[in-house]
Amino acid sequence: MPQGDIFRMSIKYVKGVGEARARLLAKLGIYTVNDALNFFPRDYQDRSILKKINELQDGEECSVKATLVSDVTESKPRRNLSIIKTLVSDGTAFLSMTWFNQGYIKNYLKNGTEYVFFGKVKRNGMRLEMHNPVIETAEQSGKYTGRILPVYPLTKGLTQTHLRTVIENSLKLAENKFEEILPQNLREKYNLSQIGFSYEEIHFPQSLHHMEQARRRLVFEELLTLQLCLLKSKGISKEQKGNRFEPVDMSPLLNKLTFKLTSAQKKVFEEICNDMQSDRKMNRLIQGDVGSGKTIVAVMAIYMAAKNGYQSAFMVPTEILAEQHYRSVKQLFEDLGISVRLLTGSTKKKEKEEIKALAREGKIDVLIGTHAILEDDTEFYKLGLVITDEQHRFGVRQRAKLSVKGENPDLLVMTATPIPRTLTLTLYGDLDVSIIDELPPERKPIDTYAVNESYRERVYKFIRKNVAEGRQAYIVCPLVEDSGQIEAESAEGLAERIRDNELKGLRVGLIHGKMKSSEKDKVMRKFVDGQIDVLVSTTVIEVGVNVPNANLMVIENAERFGLSQLHQLRGRVGRGKYKSYCILFNQSKSDIARQRMEIMTSINNGFVISEKDLELRGPGDVFGVRQHGLPELKIANLYRDMDILKDVQKAVKHIIDNNLLLNDEYMLLNKKLDDIIKEKFNEISLN
Ligand code: ADP
Ligand code: MG
């Protein structure tokens, strides 16, 4: 879409709008003609099917062309009710027409005249009838009947008819002014219709086939630009050269493990090995369900880098997790001659400086930490490998930032939020994907129960019973709003209450996002050491933390969490040899909440859950995309548009590999990408 004047014109100047209606349109995000054109129908009503009356079926919606064969009668059985009736025929049969409280209709209808009616057919005894049909004279028909009409999302005060008129008038203004940004050969190759046609037909399709064609093109363009923008803003071009590592004998490390690797872990490490031993830069995403053992795979890659004389950076989203990784990695590497240090926001200034100096001189092999690693003055002597754990917490920018901190270090990204495949392709189109699709043996499924308030007492009893057997429990409270205040209070309130009442006598700890890192660490360490029986927390414990003795996870207001998040939280238990449980307090009576709880109680596989999550949330609320700081999708639906996405993937690869964006025919597309990056990608969040 070019930024021609017409497209940027305020919507209030479009025929039929004006100030008042413009305010309503603003509520839908429509400020300009361009916004109106990109406000896509959520559905269509097919009024194009014209049927003979004798073919009509009870319950169907369609149009008929018929002549009035009786006078119009009006009755007023009650004060607020007027009923208008007439009879029509098309020569095949008769059809009764009834309108309720639409008195003006009677002035419009004339005995002997032919009209087109659209409505739902109802059987009434022997006779068929339509209630409140839409009506046009046969001569003028084509606007409200006899064609496919768009159905838009609405806001109070605006009707479908208003919105249709606004968009129709916007289309008229834009006619012949659309700018084609996709080169012809690309459109031909992927069967993409022209831009003008696409906008016309997505709003007012001649046929459903045309609509599908239009939609395909618009979805393709949306996903293509998103993906190219991602690649451009990351500065990633073709395959990059990276370091070539020599094979390493892994047995000293493997001998220190108390378990045997699963075959999935072995397979994924092999893939990593191949990447590292080639001179191509590794760009690999490891997906694995919670508890599938991603960390050790990362540690093996670090070991390999270190034995090749390269440093590694291991970045995680929270200090607690950094601490935990640090402790376990350090313990593994202690007598293998590999030095490990921890750098987080709460590292003391003096120590920070010392660590940074050592990293610069190459005297640290592995630096584990939070965002602090990203600070500009952290430099490495010879950085060969960058690992980010629980990637979904990092923005795209950060990934880019870290990978420039060395001479093209290999990149390993790990995520425990299983991402639906479509989303993986969209967000990480530039990454190769490895999946650890197997849990370590002897891991028992976590029994999950969704309960309501009436179970509260029993749940506390159950907690007491488990604690009496030496186990520990988590109770997670939702982050009510994006406000630290509320978050702290609700976890705090609960902790106070159960400490003095329901769970009196047990050691109840509290941890939440408003606490200082040092305090959080103190509490967490106590929990790890078994000095706390019940840990009340917000979602700060969501990722990665490992306390094998905890076997019970209670989640308050579970209806407020996303399914994937619930699965993450549940993954905090079931990490040891004890039978584990997850109890979801569901305070909602809605169907959706019930369905979601049902999914949680019946499915233990994170990948399946994330697919369901995407399916349930449906179009418009795309899982995780906003969380990743990406622009919202207007028309593409990552759940349904997998096939288009695959084509987009191919096109993107072709464009990048052949450096096509610099060609003349891609000039307009390239310019649009720059515009979008400037406008939207600057807001990428750093949470
Ligand atoms: P995640 O994939 O969720 O990050 P972790 O790497 O934290 O999982 O591993 C979870 C737990 O499983 C850790 O205690 C780890 O030592 C253990 N573990 C990892 N691999 C295996 C294995 N092959 N057999 C048994 N336990 C394992
Ligand atoms: Mg992990």
Model pLDDT for residues 75-132, shown as the tens digit of each residue: 999 988 999 999 999 999 999 999 999 888 888 889 999 999 999 999 988 889 999 9
CA–centroid distance, residue 389 to ligand 2 (Å): 7
pLDDT in tens, 160-170: 989 999 999 99
Ligand 1 atom closest to Cα of residue 257: 16
Residue 161, judged by CB atoms within 10 A of its CB (0-12, 13-18, 19+), counts as exposed
Pocket residue to mutate for ligand 1, from 296, 300, 389, most atoms within 8 A of Cβ = 296
Protein residue whose Cα sits closest to atom 9 of ligand 1: 293
pLDDT in tens, 638-666: 667 878 888 998 899 899 889 899 999 99
Using DSSP's 3-state secondary structure scheme, residue 124 falls into strand
**Which of the ligands is closest to the CA of residue 572?**
1
Q: Compute the half-sphere exposure of residue 27: CA atoms within 13 Å on the CB side of its CA.
A: 11
Beta partners for residue 95, in sequence order: 88
Predicted local confidence at residue 320, as pLDDT: 77
CB 450 within 8 A of CB 584: yes
**Cβ neighbours of residue 461 under 8 Å, at least 6 residues apart?**
none
With CA atoms as reference, report the closest residue to 37 among 180, 155, 158, 204: 204
Crossing angle of helices 208-234 and 667-680, in 10° steps, is: 70
Could you tell me whether strands 366-369 and 311-315 are parallel, antiparallel, or unpaired per DSSP bridges? parallel
CA–centroid distance, residue 322 to ligand 2 (Å): 10
Which amino acid is located at 581 in the chain? Y
User: Where does the pLDDT of residue 605 fall: very low under 50, low under 70, confident under 90, or very high at 90 and above?
Assistant: confident
The three-point CA angle 378-379-381 to 5° equals 150
Ligand 1 atom closest to Cα of residue 548: 14
Mean pLDDT score, 418-430 = 63
CA–centroid distance, residue 295 to ligand 1 (Å): 7
Pocket residue to mutate for ligand 1, from 546, 547, 573, 604, most atoms within 8 A of Cβ = 546
CA–centroid distance, residue 439 to ligand 1 (Å): 8
DSSP letter at 373 equals G
Predicted local confidence at residue 118, as pLDDT: 92
Say how far apart CA 213 and CA 41 lie, in whole Å: 15
CB 646 within 8 A of CB 639: no
For the chain, the residue count is 687
* Predicted TM-score (pTM) of this structure: 0.63
Residues with CB under 6 A from ligand 1: 259, 261-262, 265, 288, 290-296, 416, 440, 544, 546, 575
Say how far apart CA 439 and CA 26 lie, in whole Å: 50
Say how far apart CA 556 and CA 585 lie, in whole Å: 5
Ligand 1 atom closest to Cα of residue 571: 3
Mean pLDDT score, 613-629 = 50
Say how far apart CA 109 and CA 72 lie, in whole Å: 7
CA–centroid distance, residue 287 to ligand 2 (Å): 10
User: Where does the pLDDT of residue 288 fall: very low under 50, low under 70, confident under 90, or very high at 90 and above?
Assistant: confident
**Which of the ligands is closest to the CA of residue 292?**
1
Say how far apart CA 64 and CA 53 lie, in whole Å: 7
- Return the higher-pLDDT residue of 134 and 433: 134
Protein residue whose Cα sits closest to atom 16 of ligand 1: 293
DSSP E strand stretches across 205-250: none
Protein residue whose Cα sits closest to atom 10 of ligand 1: 291
Predicted local confidence at residue 624, as pLDDT: 42
Read off the tokens for 211. Answer: 């609509």
Protein residue whose Cα sits closest to atom 24 of ligand 1: 440
CA–centroid distance, residue 573 to ligand 2 (Å): 13
Ligand 1 atom closest to Cα of residue 436: 2
- Return the higher-pLDDT residue of 143 and 423: 143
CA–centroid distance, residue 545 to ligand 2 (Å): 7
DSSP secondary structure string for all residues of 592-618: HHHHHHHHHHH---HHHHHHHHHHHH-
- Return the higher-pLDDT residue of 398 and 534: 534
* Residue 237 CA: distances (Å) to CA of 233, 511, 655: 10, 43, 10
Predicted local confidence at residue 137, as pLDDT: 87
- First and final CA of the chain: distance in angstroms? 32
pLDDT at 274 over 60: yes
User: Where does the pLDDT of residue 417 fall: very low under 50, low under 70, confident under 90, or very high at 90 and above?
Assistant: low
Protein residue whose Cα sits closest to atom 17 of ligand 1: 293
pLDDT at 484 over 70: no
CB 502 within 8 A of CB 563: no
Predicted local confidence at residue 403, as pLDDT: 55
CA–centroid distance, residue 367 to ligand 1 (Å): 21
Predicted local confidence at residue 313, as pLDDT: 93
Could you tell me whether strands 534-537 and 472-476 are parallel, antiparallel, or unpaired per DSSP bridges? parallel
**Cβ neighbours of residue 98 under 8 Å, at least 6 residues apart?**
83, 84, 85, 129, 130, 131, 132
Mean pLDDT score, 205-222 = 95
CA–centroid distance, residue 344 to ligand 1 (Å): 24
Protein residue whose Cα sits closest to atom 26 of ligand 1: 440
DSSP letter at 410 equals E
CB 629 within 8 A of CB 395: yes
Say how far apart CA 265 and CA 296 lie, in whole Å: 9
Residues of the chain with pLDDT > 70: what percent?
Answer: 87
Residue where the block lists tokens 């939020």: 417
Say how far apart CA 613 and CA 417 lie, in whole Å: 12
Predicted local confidence at residue 525, as pLDDT: 82
Ligand 1 atom closest to Cα of residue 261: 23
Predicted local confidence at residue 424, as pLDDT: 64
pLDDT at 304 over 90: yes
Q: Which residue segments constitute the domains of the chain, with CATH numbers given?
A: 1-46+160-179 (1.10.150), 49-146 (2.40.50.140), 251-278+293-415 (3.40.50.300), 447-603 (3.40.50.300)
With CA atoms as reference, report the closest residue to 586 among 615, 563, 618: 563
Residue 608, judged by CB atoms within 10 A of its CB (0-12, 13-18, 19+), counts as middle
**Which of the ligands is closest to the CA of residue 299?**
1
CA–centroid distance, residue 297 to ligand 2 (Å): 10
Read off the tokens for 562. Answer: 């996303």
Ligand 1 atom closest to Cα of residue 296: 6
Protein residue whose Cα sits closest to atom 15 of ligand 1: 293
Mean pLDDT score, 537-557 = 83
